[in-house]
Copies of this chain bind each other. A is one copy, B any other.
């Protein structure tokens, strides 16, 4: 990559962990897609000296662009514009037209609080219209304008893109900034890159890693691709970044992955399992209902996460107690006493119960030991039994999931999502391989 950048995230709440930073990684990904290599993300508090030091350190790395987030508000501790102006060697100046435009935005907001001291608001926000001379102003999405500030002497240092902290303001403003000549000239050496995702379920990461290592030897052209794998909620995601010129290499790579691991590959187009299941339910005119125990409502909660899910989710029952399993999901008490509440027999009865109680085309049953208590030698913590039943048949699975209570509950919903997909695709293999943790 010909252009390099760094990100500086400001905010004492971010530095102290009270707020989790989302801007640094988001900007890093956007930069990478534009062919700009992000060398570093620096998080600093609201002290001007620390912020200045972070800018100097990135300049010393030789980056072409620094993107800052935060510190553009109306209060005294919001000092990013001034620090960046000084860093770029530029004087600060009031932009009266900008001041008017910010004031117009604020009038709409302050109208909601008639008791507010409007003069104080105006004085505080005048500050937001004081910008470095020669900077390109990016119009406010909230009330704070962004800035593209080139170095005073061209080539003498990085250009700084100053963005507001709230992601809902930062993200649209990033798109606007890309259109400005000042930013384009700062990253003119960059080649726009593509990023694509493959998602898999039911394969250990170590097996996939071995398979990827072997690819180059068998002639798959992976040299032009930057391939990263990571585990996400029990699935494996392969993220690949490449220049447009390597598009055919990527196709060959995907074909090789498909040939080796087609049975566990479920997404090549960025779709998540949740979206795939939703589309399959809609396209087949199916509905779904859940009877769950150890997941305690989270499975139904996940199915209803997507907007429009009321079109195909009829509902769910969380049967946390044994009597509730019988009363609400029709699980015979004799099954529970014979096989135990955590058993394939009860999972099947839960799935059948969900389907018949709600009149759904697909029924999901989940029962397991989320822990930390309740494990036995036969059924240790992490043992979860799943059954998904639909018009084309049924899939049952007993799985041993790793991790703590939170993780067992969350991964259980991932397993169930994949079983719903298989039932909807008609892949009812009663004795298939166990999806891995």
> Which positions in A face B, CB cutoff 8 Å?
12-20, 24-26, 28-29, 32, 38-45, 50, 53-54, 56-57, 60-61, 228, 230, 237, 239, 290, 295-305, 307-310, 313-321, 323-324, 327-328, 357-359, 371-374, 405-406, 409
Q: Does the CB pair B406–A305 fall under 8 Å?
A: yes
A341, chain B: closest CB distance, angstroms: 10
Q: Does the CB pair A328–B317 fall under 8 Å?
A: yes
User: Per a CB cutoff under 8 Å, which of B50, B228, B296, B314 touches A61?
Assistant: B50
Distance, CA A228 to CA B11, complexed state (A): 11
Residues of B within 8 A of A39 (CB): 44-45, 50
Q: Does the CB pair A314–B321 fall under 8 Å?
A: yes
Residues of B within 8 A of A43 (CB): 24, 40-43
Chain B: CB-nearest residue to A204:
B113
Q: Does the CB pair B44–A50 fall under 8 Å?
A: no
Counting chain B CB atoms within 10 Å of each CB, the highest count among A16, A18, A25, A323 belongs to: A16
Provide the main secondary structure of the chain A interface. mixed
Q: Does the CB pair B42–A50 fall under 8 Å?
A: no
Residues of B within 8 A of A16 (CB): 25, 28-29, 32, 38, 228, 239
A300-B318, A317-B318 in contact; A373/B308 too (CB < 8 A)? yes
Chain B: CB-nearest residue to A406:
B305
Residues of B within 8 A of A359 (CB): 323
Q: Does the CB pair B45–A42 fall under 8 Å?
A: no
Give the number of times this chain occurs in the complex, counting copies: 2
Distance, CA A297 to CA B301, complexed state (A): 4
Distance, CA A41 to CA B17, complexed state (A): 11
Q: Does the CB pair B318–A297 fall under 8 Å?
A: yes
Residues of B within 8 A of A301 (CB): 295-298, 301, 318, 409
14 new A-B contacts at CB < 8 Å, known A13-B228, A297-B304, A315-B328: A12-B228, A16-B32, A18-B228, A19-B230, A20-B20, A24-B43, A40-B50, A56-B57, A295-B301, A297-B318, A301-B409, A304-B320, A314-B320, A315-B317
Residues of B within 8 A of A44 (CB): 39-40
Chain B: CB-nearest residue to A50:
B39
Distance, CA A317 to CA B327, complexed state (A): 12
Q: Does the CB pair A25–B17 fall under 8 Å?
A: yes
User: Per a CB cutoff under 8 Å, which of B50, B317, B373 touches A307?
Assistant: B373
Chain B: CB-nearest residue to A62:
B53
Distance, CA A50 to CA B302, complexed state (A): 40
Query: Closest 10 interchain pairs by CB?
Result: A17-B25, A296-B304, A297-B300, A57-B57, A297-B297, A297-B301, A41-B43, A298-B301, A316-B318, A315-B324
Q: Does the CB pair A315–B305 fall under 8 Å?
A: no
Residues of B within 8 A of A358 (CB): 321, 324, 327-328
Residues of B within 8 A of A239 (CB): 16, 18
User: Per a CB cutoff under 8 Å, which of B56, B61, B316, B405 touches A297?
Assistant: B316
Distance, CA A24 to CA B9, complexed state (A): 13
User: Per a CB cutoff under 8 Å, which of B15, B297, B307, B318 touches A28?
Assistant: B15
Distance, CA A332 to CA B47, complexed state (A): 60
Residues of B within 8 A of A42 (CB): 40-43
A288, chain B: closest CB distance, angstroms: 10
A378, chain B: closest CB distance, angstroms: 19
Residues of B within 8 A of A310 (CB): 320-321, 374
Residues of B within 8 A of A300 (CB): 296-297, 318, 320
A307-B371, A315-B317 in contact; A38/B15 too (CB < 8 A)? yes
A380, chain B: closest CB distance, angstroms: 15
Distance, CA A2 to CA B311, complexed state (A): 60
Residues of B within 8 A of A15 (CB): 25, 28, 38, 40-41
Q: Does the CB pair A315–B307 fall under 8 Å?
A: no
Chain B: CB-nearest residue to A317:
B317
Residues of B within 8 A of A374 (CB): 310
Chain B: CB-nearest residue to A14:
B25
